Structure 1
Amino acid sequence: MNLFDVYPLFDITPVKAKDVFVYDENGVEYLDLYGGHAVISIGHSHPEYVCSLSNQLNNIGFYSNSIQNPLQVELASAIETLSGCKDYQLFLCNSGAEANENALKLASFKTGKSKVLAFKNGFHGRTSAAVAATDNAKIIAPINAQQEVELFELGDLKGVEKALAKNDVCAIIIETIQGIGGLDEATTEFLKGLESLSKKHNALLIADEIQCGFGRTGDFFAYQKHGITPDIISMAKGMGNGFPIGGILIHPSIKASYGLLGTTFGGNHLACAASLAVLKVMRCENLMTNAKTVSDYFIEKANTIPQIKAVKGRGLMLGLEFDFSIAALRKDLIFKHHIFTGSAKSPNLLRILPPLTLQKKHVDMFFEALKKAL
């Protein structure tokens, strides 16, 4: 049986990883500045993480959500403590797409409406409503296109207000910092405007923090810099350091009822153990502070390289913008200098999404290689 060929693959086979490094089958060491799409938050194979998952697996790895699972309650408490999101409710699932799917479904239940407002260059997942709200026609199948979605330019408050006035919108969904779309961030004025308009027109504001959340920007959630209170916050990626887990935080004004949402695997024992380990390491090793410190150093180094036209993003969610396509540069960094980086919708943007354990010495390694490659 062949694999369904939907991924263009680099000819590298990782077999081991430790902190910010990945090792292939030939023992070659790679500096990981991509973290598998911003997933690796506390570093590969962190001892606390390995211990937590191993111990849990020795007890119970999975049972359905029809029984008590105290780990879910513990995880909710730990997220509340570290994020500062008081009184929100937690629903656990398995991925970012599923998180957004549940967020949109909940908004529709709450308001009784069905239309969604989203933004150009946004990416929210590959499933039903989430992909319809994603600005990429190539991955939207006809069955997804039945969803009612209207896309706006980031910052177009007048357009959003006009659409809301029709009173058929259940949700506004926005990435606080766009991921694959190119690291653009909405302004505080715009986000506060969305918050105000959503309340006025009985629509829910969904902050998609799947990539920019869980400490990646130096704040627990990227939206917190802007002083808004979303109705729903979606999260995944760095939440489990590689173990599949996602979730939504739900404002207390939204009431639960039996059967409203559901999942088979979401919030299982192993997933909770993984995320609890992530939160513990983030707290004990001050990784959000580290993200800010190393980010400042990274940006300072980037500003000394004339070929870099702009540095986008925040914390350890960064993009280096050039005036040429970075495809060849990225291959050079991987195969000649053994450094993983990422691409974006813009062909000229090199994305940097390393583990939050990244140190200044690793930044130096990258820029030495980048200068040679350029």
Structure 2
Amino acid sequence: MNLFQVYPLFNINPVKAEGSFLWDDKGQKYLDFYGGHAVISIGHNHPHYQNKLKSQLEKISFYSNSVQNDLQTELAKKLGELSGYENYSLFLCNSGAEANENALKLASFHNGKQKVIYFSGSFHGRTSAAVSVTDNPKIVAPVNFSERFIKCEWNNVAQLKQLFAENQGEISSIIIEGIQGVGGIVLPTEEMIQTLKNLCAENEVVLIMDEVQSGYVRSGKFFAHQEFDIQPDLITVAKGMGNGFPMGGVLISPIFKASNGLLGTTFGGNHLSCAAGIAVLEVIKNENLLENSEKMGAYIESEIQNFNHIKSIRRRGLMIGIELDQPCAEIRSNLLMKHHVFTGNSNDANVLRILPALNITEKEADIFIGALNSVLEN
């Protein structure tokens, strides 16, 4: 049997990782400034993370959600304390797409309405409802399409108000990324966020904040939306939550009432994933990664802002989009093949996406800065 080839692959086979570095099967060392789509939040094979998982493996790695699991309770408590959402509840699952599916479903259960507003440039996942609110027709199969999902242009307040007027009483939820990641590190305006907040409150619409990529300290705050004075009804998380272990979750406002069978998952919140999630939160707290995210993001921005071919830098914390005056594909390839630095792209062909581990140092940042300068000088 062969693999179902749906990914364009670099001819690189990583076999070892530590901190912000990878090694391939030929012994070549690489700087990881992309973290596998912002997944590696505390660095590869962090000692505390390793020890937590090893210890848990010696006890129990999995049982279903039909039994008590104190690790889930511990994870929820620590997440609430660090994020400032202690009065919310937590539903655990396996991925960002699954988190968004459950959030959209929970919103519709709550208010009995069907329609959902999403935004241009958005990416919320590849599963049923999640892909229906993703702005990429190439990955929306006919079975996923429905007129219940309504697209609004990003940061277009007038159109948002018009959509509410046209669909009065029918909108169940609005889903929006704290910062658009795949879209090219695109930031929402204060006006858009406040308008969303007010329209949702006035029309009994559930506000879902997708913090799958922008959450977990990535933006320099625990959640990107905390830059604004809002508390969404539902917050979805994944990626950096498990530092590579598949994990997702929904933070749920007290306005929602739980009932048996309302939501469910086979693997979500298993013992091993919870051990990974707890380790990540402990490292974030103990190593002050909230402060380091903003500090190192600002350092990188200040060092590269005058480089050739850079038009603008879109940044919050260590979520960085470098807009070039040309497509970034060749730049990204040269960084990888000539300087052995992993970076990311986006749906905007000119935007290079930078998502390093939250505990990077100036020494590691300088490797990237030097490589980028060398590539852009040519």
TM interval, shorter chain, is: over 0.9
Cα drift, residue 188 of structure 1: 2.0
Residue 265 of structure 2 is aligned to residue 263 of structure 1: yes
Whether contact under 8 Å (1:101, 1:128) holds in the other structure is yes
What does the per-residue CA deviation read over 1:239-279, in whole Å, with 9 as the maximum and x for residues that have no partner? Answer: 00000000000000111111100000000000100000000
- 1:24 corresponding residue in structure 2: 24
How far is 1:161 from its partner? 2.3
Alpha-carbon distance, 1:306 to partner: 3.0
Q: CA deviation at 1:220?
A: 0.5
1:220-252 per-position Cα deviation (integer Å, ceiling 9, x unaligned): 000011110100000000000000000000000
Runs of 4+ in 1 over 6 A off after TM superposition: none
2:101 corresponding residue in structure 1: 101
Work out the CA distance in 1 between the residues paired with 2:309 and 2:158. 37
CA contact (8 A) 2:173 2:207 kept: yes
- One-letter amino acid matched to 1:111: N
1:48 is the counterpart of 2:53: no
1:363 aligns with: 365
CA distance in structure 2 between the aligned counterparts of 1:188 and 1:223, rounded to whole angstroms? 10
Give the aligned residue type for 2:37. Answer: H
CA distance in 2, matches of 1:21, 1:199: 46
1:218 CA displacement: 1.2
**Per-residue deviation at 1:302?**
1.4
Specify every segment of 5 or more residues in structure 1 that has no aligned partner in the other structure, as ranges. Answer: none
What is the CA–CA distance in structure 1 between the aligned matches of 2:183 and 2:10, rounded to whole Å? 22
Does the 8 A contact of 1:129 with 1:147 survive in 2? no
Deviations 1:173-216 (A, max 9, x none): 00010001011111122111101101111110000000000011
Paired position in structure 2 for 1:189: 191
Structure 2 portions without partners, runs of 5+: none
Contact between 2:297 and 2:315, CA under 8 Å: does it hold in 1? no
Q: Distance in 2 between matches of 1:164 and 1:304?
A: 43
Give SS of 1:313's match.
strand
Q: What SS is found at the alignment partner of 2:173? A: strand
- TM-score, length basis structure 2: 0.98
SS of the residue corresponding to residue 104 of structure 1 reads helix
Structure 1 residue 370: deviation in Å?
1.4
| Alpha-carbon separation, structure 1, partners of 2:161 and 2:142 | 28
Alignment of 1:211 with 2:213, yes or no, is yes
Structure 2 CA distance for aligned equivalents of residues 250 and 208 of structure 1: 12
Where do 1:110-149 residues align within 5 Å?
110-146=110-146, 148-149=148-149
Verify: 1:310 aligned to 2:312, yes or no.
yes
CA–CA distance in structure 1, aligned partners of residues 324 and 229 of structure 2: 32
Distance apart, 1:6 and its partner CA: 0.2
**Corresponding position: 1:274 with 2:276:** yes
**Which amino acid in the other structure matches residue 134 of structure 1?**
T
For 1:267 and 1:303, how far apart are their aligned partners in 2? 42
1:162: how far off?
2.5
Distance 1:306 1:34 in 2: 22
Tell me, what secondary structure is at the counterpart of 2:97?
helix
Q: Who is 1:234 aligned against? A: 236
1:2 corresponds to 2:16: no
Contact 2:334 2:375 in 1 (8 A): yes
What SS class does the counterpart of residue 296 from structure 1 fall into?
helix
* Amino acid paired to 1:120: S
Deviations 1:34-90 (A, max 9, x none): 000000000000000011011111100000000000000100000011011121010
1:349 paired to 2:351: yes
Q: Is residue 157–residue 191 contact of structure 2 (8 Å, CA) maintained in 1?
A: no
- Match for residue 176 of structure 1? 178
Q: Provide TM-score, normalisation by structure 1.
A: 0.99
Contact kept in structure 2, 1:132 and 1:147, CA below 8 Å: no
% same residue? 53
Deviation at 1:147, TM superposition (A): 5.9
Alpha-carbon separation, structure 2, partners of 1:245 and 1:267? 8
Q: CA deviation at 1:298?
A: 0.5
Q: SS of the counterpart of 1:342?
A: coil
Quote the Cα distance in structure 2 between the aligned partners of 1:124 and 1:224: 20
Pair 1:83 & 2:87 matched: no
- Of 324, 327, 350, the match for 1:325: 327
Using the alignment, how far apart are the partners of 1:161 and 1:129 within structure 2?
A: 23
Q: Which residue identity does 1:156 align to in structure 2?
A: N
Figure out how many residues of one structure are paired with residues of the other and give that number: 374
Q: String of CA shifts for 1:133-160, please: whole Å, max 9, x gaps.
A: 0000000000100361111112222322
CA shift for structure 1 position 364? 1.3
Q: 1:35 and 1:242 mapped to 2: Cα distance?
A: 9
Q: Is the 8 A contact 2:77 2:86 kept in 1?
A: no
Q: Which moved more, 1:284-293 or 1:356-365?
A: 356-365
* Aligned counterparts of 1:183 and 1:283: Cα–Cα separation in 2: 25
The answer to whether the 8 A contact 1:43-1:357 is kept is yes
Q: Does the residue aligned with 2:262 lie in a helix, a strand or coil?
A: coil
